[in-house]
Each structure stands twice: as structure tokens, then as C-alpha cells.
Chain A
Amino acid sequence: MSLRLKDVRKSYVEQDGTRLPILGIPEFTLQTGEQVALVGESGGGKTTLLNVISGITTPDAGQVVIGNTDLTKLSEPARDRFRALKIGFIFQTFNLLPAFTALENVLLGMSFSGQKSDTKRAKDLLARVGLSHRLNHRPATLSVGEQQRVAVARSLVNRPALLLADEPTASIDAQHQATVLELIREACHEHNCALLLVTHSAEVAGQFQRVERLKDFNHPQ
């Protein structure tokens, strides 16, 4: 499933009423199964771009087309449902829910998509990221690397067509960075899932065939 942004514009209104343009993207595409590293300066609009692509935030103008679906034409509940079924999300700070075990955190992704909980698939994914022995541990008892691996498993549980990763290795040590990155890329490859990975790290970006600089295609006005 491909991603295409067309004439996307997004701005925020500041407290004093002035308009702050963040995004101005005439064209951006991502092919099915393609893996792209997105680099850019802090405050450059990377996170806003991910939010627009995932349907969390609606653009002021333009189209966000995933597969054959234009997210900007969908109602909010329909966007939520689409996100749950088709888009995986990995956050910089993992964002595991503290009340739930590793297994339950993975299953939550299924619950919100309206699918029947498939415990076997959730366990398989956790096994795939090397956490078979930590299924019933809560996030507070997991190491940083383990938490991020749970987040990876959670993002893949619904077999998404597009995986959005917002600096997924920024909070983990160098030793685990490579492991987690490899895990994400392999998982996307296995599932033929497109990957858009935001990073500040030149080392991380260097592992991708396609690296996009936000300022090269984003011209907010």
C-alpha cells in the first residue's frame, strides 16, 4: 500500500493570533514496502508530518492518500479505524501503557481496531522480538530496550500497510539501537509494509537506501 501526499499544508495559530506555517508539501510519495529515513532539524515539522499522515491531525489543505483512501475525506471515527487497521506507530518514548503487561500492550492494538484479540499472534510477535519470557511483565519492570521491542511488536500486530516510526532509537543505548532498527526493518520487510522512520542520527539514516530531508520537500508558507 503506497502513500502519497499532494499539496499538503498545515499551520498552527499561536496565542497572539499569528499563523505559524509548519507544512507545505507539494508532493511526497512512498511505495508499497519501501523504507525511507526522514531527517530534519528539530521543530522542522517532522512530527506534524507523521500526525498528518496517520490522520491524528488533519491538514489545512491537500490530500493524504494511503492506498486508495484519501484520509482527508474521512470522518474522524473512520480515520481512527483506518489508523488502527492500516498504520503502525512507534514512538520515541515507546508509550507503553503502564497498567498493562507486555502481552496486553500488544493486544491493545487489536482491541482498538475492533478485531478479535489474537493472543497467539501477539505472543509470536513478542517471541520474534525476543520477549517470550517477558510476556506478563509490566513496562516498569522491563528495560528500555525491552520496552521498545514491545512497542515494535505492538505496531505490527494488525499487519499494517504503513509503519510510522518517530525517532524509535533515540532513547536507547548504542548497543540496542542497531538491534531495534534491524528488527523494525526486518519486520517491515517480512510484512511488505512501507516504513517512514524519522531520525536525527546520520548513522541510522545511513542504513537506508532512501533518505529524505524534510526541508527539501517541505516549503511552508
Chain B
Amino acid sequence: MNLVTIAWKSIRQRALASFLTALSVALGVTLMVSVLVVHGIVDRIFSQNASGYHLVVGAKGSPLQLVLNTIYHLSSPVENIPYLYYKELKANPRVQNAIPICMGDVTLEGNFRIIGTSPEFFEVDYHPDKKFRVRGHFLEDDFDAVIGSQVARTNGWNIGSTFQPAHGVADSDHVHEEKFTVVGVLAPTGTPNDNGVYIHIDGFFQIAGHEKPADEAAAKAAAFEVFQQQAGDKKNIAVEPTPEPEPKPAPAKEKHDHAGHDHHGHHHHELPDEQKEVTAILVNAKHITAAIQLRASINEGPYAQAAVPFQEINWILNNVVGNVRTLLVIMTALILVVSGVGIFVSIYNSMADRRREIAVMRALGAQRGTVFAIIFLESILLCVGGGLFGVLLGHGMVVIAAPILEVRTGLLIDPWAFEKLELVILPVLIALASLVGIVPGMTAYRTDVAKALHA
């Protein structure tokens, strides 16, 4: 019988006390693992998605809110900017891609955000070298919709499913009459795109109520013309004057045959560009220098701001998420220390009852080092056993919390994502067990056999 077996049987002899002691360690580790895993997921998701585009262009205000709203579908929607501004930006020679994003509606089922965008959205990699894959096809017709994998799973939607957008971003009671049909389901991306419902921008503008009032639009258009004129004079702003591009209908629309299907309840009304607005524009410049120049010139102008997603997310990670994580890790480390004290108290208190057992072992020939090792191993087994259980429990908790977090934050969470820092837990637990096992072990070591045998 080896020493580990002897230690294990001693632990089993005090089953309840041992279980409670190990449980206290397990709960400490559970908390620590949960914090690490959730933070790791948040960190990865933010970092991954932040690198998709050079710039996010939107109304003046908080760049952080602009990025959170546009890329992560978090935070409340920002103000809109004129569609004309988007057209000008798209024509800018420094711009590789300019993709319009129109928000403001959600699905009634699941409260998923509806994003009006152009088909080009799906042509750009959502992460370097990662292209969108779709079952069905991407946006072609005005009332087509492509949904993220999470939307499909949660709402049970598939190709052919139809829905009517609801106005607002939460608990809206106004449902638009226009009906959209799901034509594609995105393969999971592990990004907030999985929680998005993408509709054709032309369809978005055909939804009643999405047009800007004509008088307000006329005033804005006039102001924008003045701005364009000044831009042309100064030659130092984002939207450099360019020849007005020939109006070109969307390729899909050119080929579209309306005879084959029904546009349920659609009121086809072509909206003048002056009455259109976009929430944001995702921009990839032709090269990084162009992106820097573009950002500077956009921010100098009166109409919009350009935010760099990577910078904004880094700010969150460094100043908010990082600090919160550090705080939580410190707190859970303290919990582990308290658990360690619990193990110490449990084993140390048991020593008074076990003095005779130890004396018997010594009388049978066990050396001082042997009885020390048995008590020490008990501490290690309780700590490591509790810790491993805690690791499982921690991931289990993330499994349980994942769907709730996904719905509340829009982030896709892999509960079994393993954090490198978790590797530190085991050596730390062994060190902690060693520390708390020394004193009871020494008590066993010093047991006066003659006295204890006849006590």
C-alpha cells in the first residue's frame, strides 16, 4: 500500500469534513476559472473583431460608442449621417471599401439587431483571411435577409423564413409592415456577426418611416452641398470632390426577375438620396497610410468622425476589462488563500483525534518522515482534487452562463475555451497545499509515540 493510498483512505475516513474542505477550494477555483475564461473570451472576441476594418465612420460623438454599436451591436444606437456622405466617401480614391450600416430595427423574436447593408459587406473578410460562408446565398434582392448562425439557432429560422422588423432596439411595440425573407444563413464566425440579421440596404430604405422628412432632408442636403463646395476649395478634408458617379443599380437588382415570387406587403418607393441616412460606414483604406490620412481629414470635418476600432477596443481592454479582471483575480486568489486556511484548520484540528493513529503507524515501523508525508499528501490531495473539480465546475458554470451572456451581450462564447493562465492554477494549488500541509505534517512528525499510544 503506497502513501498516496494511505492518505486517500484517511481523507475518506473523514468524508464530510474532507468534502467540505475540498469544496471550499473548488469554489475558489471555480470563480477564478470563470473569471479567466470569460475574460479570455471577451478579450479574444474584441481583439478579433477590432481588426476587421481600418475605420468606422459615424456621427460625431463618442468613438467608443460608435465602435461598440457598429461592430459589436452593443450600446445604444448613435446618430445618423447623410447617405450622400457615404456616397462621397465611397468615391474617395483612398478608400478600398466603404460599407454602409443602417441600424434601428430589431427582430421581434430574440430581439436581434437588424442591419441594413450592401452586398459588399459579405465580400470583405470579417477577419484577415476569414471570409463569410453562407448556406443559401448572400443579399441580392431588396427584401432578402441573411442571418447569423446564432439567430438561426435561437429563432429556429431557416432559408425561406420571413419576418417583419420591429422599430427600435428593445421592447418595441411598433412592427413594420415590410416582410423580409431569409435567403442565407451564415456559418458560425465566433463574432457578433452571428447575432446579426442583415437585410439589403435598398430594402431597409423602403421600410416606411426610414426616410428623413422631406423639408429636413432638403435643408441638410443644402448644408451638405455647401460643405462639399468648401471641401473642394480647401482640398484638405475627407470627402474630396469627385465627379458624380453614374447612377448604377445594384448588380443583383439588374438581374432580378420579379415574376417568380411575391414581395409581401412591400410598398416600392424609391427614396431620394437626400432622404436617406446611414448609421455608420465601415471603411477599409487602400493602405494604412491612407487610413491615417483619411481618419485625420474626416475628423477635421463637421459631419462625421472616424474611429479606429482597434484603438477603442484596446482602450476598453486596458482600462476597463483588464482592471476588472485584475480585481476579480485578486479577489478569487484571496478566496483560494481562505480555502487554504480552511484546509489547514481541517487537517490541523483532525490531528488531535489522529495522534493515536499516527502513534500506531510509528509503532508499526513508520518513520517520522513517512507520517509527515501522509499528512502532507492529504493536504495536496484535498487541494488538487478540489482544484480540478473547481476547474470543471468553472467551465460548467460558463456553459450554463454562455447562452445568457450571448443574449445579453451579443458575444459568442465558447465555454470550453482554455486559458493559459489556468495552467498556473495547479502549481499554485500545490504550493498552497504544501504551505498549509507543513504545520499539521510537523505535528505528526513530532508526535510522542509512547505518550500518544497510552493516552
Contacts and interface: CB of A to CB of B under 8 A. Distances in A.
B130 interface: no
A104 B1 contact: yes
Interface residues of A, number: 30
A81 B365 contact: yes
Contact of B366 (A54, A85, A112): A112
Contacts of B454: 47
B9 interface: yes
A77 B365 contact: no
Interface string A70-92: 00000011001101110001010
A30 to B, nearest CB: 19
Interface in B364-396: 364-370
Q: Which of B6, B356, B360 has the most CB of A within 10 A?
A: B360
Contacts of A95: 356, 360, 363, 453
A125 B115 CA distance: 82
Main secondary structure of the interface of B (DSSP, over half): helix
A110 B453 CA distance: 20
B449 interface: yes
A117 B360 contact: no
11 contacts: A47-B454, A80-B362, A80-B365, A81-B365, A83-B363, A95-B360, A98-B13, A99-B10, A99-B13, A112-B370, A154-B364
Contacts of A85: 365
A108 interface: yes
A149 to B, nearest CB: 17
Interface of B: 1-2, 6, 9-10, 12-13, 356-357, 360-370, 449-450, 453-454
A32 interface: no
A6 B449 CA distance: 24
A24 interface: no
A83 B453 contact: no
Contacts of A48: 450
Given A95-B356, A104-B1, A109 B364 contact: yes
B364 A112 contact: yes
A57 interface: yes
B95 to A, nearest CB: 76
A111 B360 CA distance: 13
Contacts of B453: 56, 91, 95
Contacts of A51: 449-450
Nearest to A51: B450
Q: Which of B10, B12, B365 has the most CB of A within 10 A?
A: B365
A2 to B, nearest CB: 21
B153 to A, nearest CB: 51
Contacts of A56: 362-363, 449-450, 453
Nearest to A97: B357
A89 B1 contact: no
Nearest to A117: B1
Contacts of B2: 111
Contacts of A89: 363-364
A112 B365 contact: yes
A38 interface: no
B363 A113 contact: no
Nearest to A48: B450
A107 interface: yes
A57 B2 CA distance: 27
Interface string A108-145: 11111100010000000000000000000000000000
Given A91-B453, A108-B1, A111-B2, A76 B368 contact: yes
Contacts of B362: 56, 80
A85 B367 CA distance: 13
A97 B360 CA distance: 8
